[in-house]
Amino acid sequence: MAVLVCGGAGYIGSHVTRALIDNGEEVVVLDNLITGHVDAVHEKAKLVLGDLKDEEFLDRVFRENKIDGVIDFAAFSLVGESMTEPLKYFENNFYGTLCLLKAMQKHGVKNIVFSSTAATYGEPENIPILETDKTIPTNPYGESKLAVEKMMKWCDQAYGIKFTALRYFNVAGAHPSGDIGEDHSPETHLIPIILQVALGKRDHIGIFGDDYPTADGTCIRDYIHVMDLADAHILALKRLYKGGDSAIFNLGNGEGFSVKDVIEVSRKVTGHPIPAVVSPRRAGDPAKLVASSEKAIKELNWKPKYNTLDEIIATAWKWHKNHPNGYED
Ligand code: UDP
């Protein structure tokens, strides 16, 4: 039996695929390669190229492979773009997963682990954020993910498809080998952009606002290592296989770091001065997002191993240094 990893050629999907294979699982990666990279896919995974919205293709994938669990990463994830192109996000992220659930129902596949996000919460009421807190997304990206969570709840009730939604905070780092890592085009995330400065590909890092109500005025985020995230997916899938109920879990480190903290640690890790320039706020950025992951630690028995920002940035640096042009190298 195999695990179907939708979006397995992307940043998080490729690391989870690698962890599944290292864990002895058979993996089928489905990807349309719009944002994914063939070279990110582990050689032992079977790669099928196509789109979740292509129902005939999906039907064939389920017919031709013995799939007993699905992990779904296939989504667009640029918050800013989702504000100007909401329909692109609902079509790809919501309708794509709708087609996937239809195929699962047709083929009697009952377990799905879904890649959700802290963006489902919107502006948090409490820190750290609990899974039971209010979900009022402030952008279509978060709304499209929340809509899928709701759709899965009804599919569980009607068809008995069990889901685990994992709400990620700020995912960072790379496989410790330095063989796979983050490669987005355009790159919008803080750590890869900072490391591009260290590589000499940019002059400086722009700090998006230093007048937030935080100690140093810059936004605070909870950075979680991509390999710790991968472990959580495997634990979540195993829990479903053992008959676990549908559930939602936050995945973060439970500790907040400001943009200035991240720049400072990156200077230490890379030995590069990394010039920083304060620029205007980016629309839609909450001042502070920090997770409570107690539920995942308790119920999934999840033990994040990369507990310091130094370790997280060091693995990202290894990848970026070895592959300054990402998968083009
Ligand atoms: N950020 C920044 N400069 C950049 C990119 C990001 O100051 O060039 C800030 C951003 O405003 C946020 C934090 O870094 O407070 C993390 O942003 P990222 O895009 O990495 O993740 P997000 O929190 O949006 O998921």
Please give the distance, rounded to the nearest whole angstrom, from the Cα atom of residue 285 to the centre of ligand 1.
Answer: 8
Distance of CA 93 to the CA centre of its chain: 13
Q: What is the pLDDT of residues 87-145, one digit of tens each?
A: 999 999 999 999 999 999 999 999 999 999 999 999 999 999 999 999 999 999 999 99
Query: Does 161 contact ligand 1 (Cβ within 6 A)?
Result: no
- Residue from 106, 38, 44, 121 nearest 70 by CA: 106
Please identify which residue in the block is written with the tokens 């490729």: 14
The 3-state DSSP class for residue 286 equals coil
Query: Does 189 contact ligand 1 (Cβ within 6 A)?
Result: yes
Query: Does 117 contact ligand 1 (Cβ within 6 A)?
Result: no
Q: What is the pLDDT of residues 33-52, one digit of tens each?
A: 999 999 999 999 999 999 99
* pLDDT of the residue at 152: 98
Q: What is the pLDDT of residues 147-200, one digit of tens each?
A: 999 999 999 999 999 999 999 999 999 999 999 999 999 999 999 999 999 999
Please give the distance, rounded to the nearest whole angstrom, from the Cα atom of residue 122 to the centre of ligand 1.
Answer: 15
Which tokens in the block code for residue 176?
């410790």
Please give the distance, rounded to the nearest whole angstrom, from the Cα atom of residue 190 to the centre of ligand 1.
Answer: 5
Ligand 1 atom 15: the closest Cα is on which residue?
219
* pLDDT of the residue at 206: 98
Cis peptide before 176 (omega within 30 of 0): no
Local confidence band at 284 (pLDDT 50, 70, 90 cut-offs): confident
Query: Does 259 contact ligand 1 (Cβ within 6 A)?
Result: yes
Q: Is the pLDDT of residue 67 over 90?
A: yes
Segments of the chain assigned E as strands: 2-6, 26-31, 46-49, 67-72, 111-117, 162-168, 170-172, 205-208, 220-221, 223-225, 247-251, 257-258, 276-279
- Rounded mean pLDDT, 79-88: 94
Q: Residue 6 corresponds to which amino acid?
A: C
Beta strand pairing call for 205-208 and 276-279: parallel
Domains and CATH numbers, the chain: 2-172+223-251 (3.40.50.720), 190-222+254-322 (3.90.25.10)
Local confidence band at 241 (pLDDT 50, 70, 90 cut-offs): very high
Q: Judge contact between 253 and 229, C-beta under 8 A.
A: no
Share of the chain above pLDDT 70, in %: 100
Query: Does 325 contact ligand 1 (Cβ within 6 A)?
Result: no
- Rounded mean pLDDT, 21-42: 98
Q: Judge contact between 69 and 85, C-beta under 8 A.
A: no
Catalytic residue among 121, 141, 168, 223: 141
DSSP string, 253-281: -S--EEHHHHHHHHHHHH-----EEEEPP
Share of the chain above pLDDT 90, in %: 97
* pLDDT of the residue at 176: 97
Query: Does 282 contact ligand 1 (Cβ within 6 A)?
Result: yes
Which atom in ligand 1 lies closest to the alpha carbon of residue 205?
8
Q: Residue 23 corresponds to which amino acid?
A: N
Query: Does 208 contact ligand 1 (Cβ within 6 A)?
Result: yes
Local confidence band at 329 (pLDDT 50, 70, 90 cut-offs): confident
Local confidence band at 208 (pLDDT 50, 70, 90 cut-offs): very high
Which tokens in the block code for residue 121?
């919460």
Please give the distance, rounded to the nearest whole angstrom, from the Cα atom of residue 110 to the centre of ligand 1.
Answer: 36
Q: Is the pLDDT of residue 285 over 90?
A: no
Q: Is 212 a catalytic residue?
A: no
Please give the distance, rounded to the nearest whole angstrom, from the Cα atom of residue 20 to the centre of ligand 1.
Answer: 29
Local confidence band at 254 (pLDDT 50, 70, 90 cut-offs): very high
Cβ-based neighbours of 317, under 8 Å, separated by 6 or more: 195, 198, 266, 269, 270
Q: From 123, 189, 262, 309, give the residue whose CB has the most ligand 1 atoms within 8 Å, as the site to mutate.
A: 189
- Residue from 77, 102, 109 nearest 4 by CA: 109
Which atom in ligand 1 lies closest to the alpha carbon of residue 170?
25
Query: Does 193 contact ligand 1 (Cβ within 6 A)?
Result: yes
- Rounded mean pLDDT, 279-301: 95
